[in-house]
């Protein structure tokens, strides 16, 4: 894993956006894996600013998001559909039919999971997958204990993850208990992975990823096995790394 050290969240976002833009500019066809949460917000802001100023086009880009809550309508302000529209899609020229997010209100969520993996395969896989890091080492919503062999599936969210995400909801009780997530194997099949980590709160998780053992109790540890991972992390996040 290659680690790029940056000063702070602002620098991390700029670096990540530039790495994504490089691929957008130089590929005729590009499939991006996208994440939600607090980490990529600044990256998306840079992409939007660049689109406005430099007219970078996303007509040739297809995207697949990592996850979505089960039971939330795409119009729900806390759904990841809503997040992606607000934070990126509404502000760039990516064709809507080329954006994919798991459907959390599908009648048959299992079928939705299978279809999602199938669609990724039909696009020849993900070229660049953007990831954030959960405090407990989750990637996507693959919580500790998830098999490294999983494809897209339905998960029960741990209390810790629901608590971490409660900041976006009116109350903890409103945070959904289940989600659809790309599986660890789905993520690992991406040709390239860009993991963003910022802040002191993530420092022990990042240290465990970089220095620790590869183990299902810490899902992100599997990234050590991927041939092309870049971690962009700020000083605060790196403070516990040996
Ligand atoms: C988001 C996702 C999650 C987050 C992780 C970190 O789509 O799949 O794994 O990347 O929970 O969240 P933040 O960025 O809010 O700290």
Give the tens place of pLDDT for each residue, 27-82.
Answer: 999 999 999 999 999 999 999 999 999 999 999 999 999 999 999 999 999 999 99
Task: Give yes or no for residue 102 CB within 6 A of ligand 1.
Answer: no
Task: Give yes or no for residue 33 CB within 6 A of ligand 1.
Answer: no
The answer to pTM > 0.95 is: yes
Residue 242, pLDDT > 90, answer no
ipTM above 0.95, yes or no: yes
Residue 79, class by beta-carbon neighbours within 10 Å (0-12 exposed, 13-18 middle, 19+ buried)?
buried
Q: Whose CA is nearest to atom 3 of ligand 1?
A: 140
Q: What is the pLDDT of residues 167-201, one digit of tens each?
A: 989 999 999 999 999 999 999 999 999 999 999 99
Task: Give yes or no for residue 199 CB within 6 A of ligand 1.
Answer: no
Q: What is the pLDDT of residues 105-162, one digit of tens each?
A: 999 999 999 999 999 999 999 999 999 999 999 999 999 999 999 999 999 998 988 9
Q: Which residues pair with 131 in a beta bridge?
A: 195
**60 counts as catalytic:** no
Going from the N-terminus, what domains does the chain have, and what CATH number goes with each?
2-238 (3.40.50.1360)
**65 counts as catalytic:** no
Q: Whose CA is nearest to atom 5 of ligand 1?
A: 134
Within the chain, residue ranges assigned H as helices are: 9-26, 41-54, 80-87, 109-122, 159-165, 184-188, 203-211, 235-238
């Amino acid at each position: 894993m290659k680690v790029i050290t940056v000063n702070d969240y602002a620098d991390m976002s700029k670096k990540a956006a530039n790495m994504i833009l490089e691929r957008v500019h130089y590929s005729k066809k590009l499939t991006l894996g996208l994440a939600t949460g607090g980490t990529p917000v600044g990256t998306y802001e840079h992409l939007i600013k660049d689109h406005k100023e430099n007219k970078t086009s996303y007509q040739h880009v297809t995207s697949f998001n990592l996850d979505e809550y089960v039971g939330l309508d795409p119009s729900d302000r806390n759904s990841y559909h809503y997040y992606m529209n607000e934070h990126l899609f509404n502000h760039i020229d990516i064709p809507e039919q080329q954006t994919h997010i798991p459907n959390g209100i599908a009648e048959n969520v299992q079928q939705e999971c299978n279809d999602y993996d199938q669609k990724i395969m039909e696009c020849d896989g993900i070229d660049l997958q953007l990831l954030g890091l959960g405090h407990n080492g989750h990637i996507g919503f693959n919580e500790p204990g998830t098999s490294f062999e999983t494809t897209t599936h339905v998960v029960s969210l741990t209390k810790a993850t629901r608590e971490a995400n409660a900041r976006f909801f009116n109350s903890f009780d409103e945070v959904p208990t289940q989600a659809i997530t790309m599986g660890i194997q789905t993520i690992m099949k991406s040709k390239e992975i860009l993991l963003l980590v910022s802040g002191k709160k993530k420092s022990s998780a990042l240290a465990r990823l970089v220095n620790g053992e590869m183990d299902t109790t810490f899902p992100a540890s599997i990234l050590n096995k991927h041939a092309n991972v870049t971690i962009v992390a700020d000083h605060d996040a790196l403070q516990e790394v040996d």
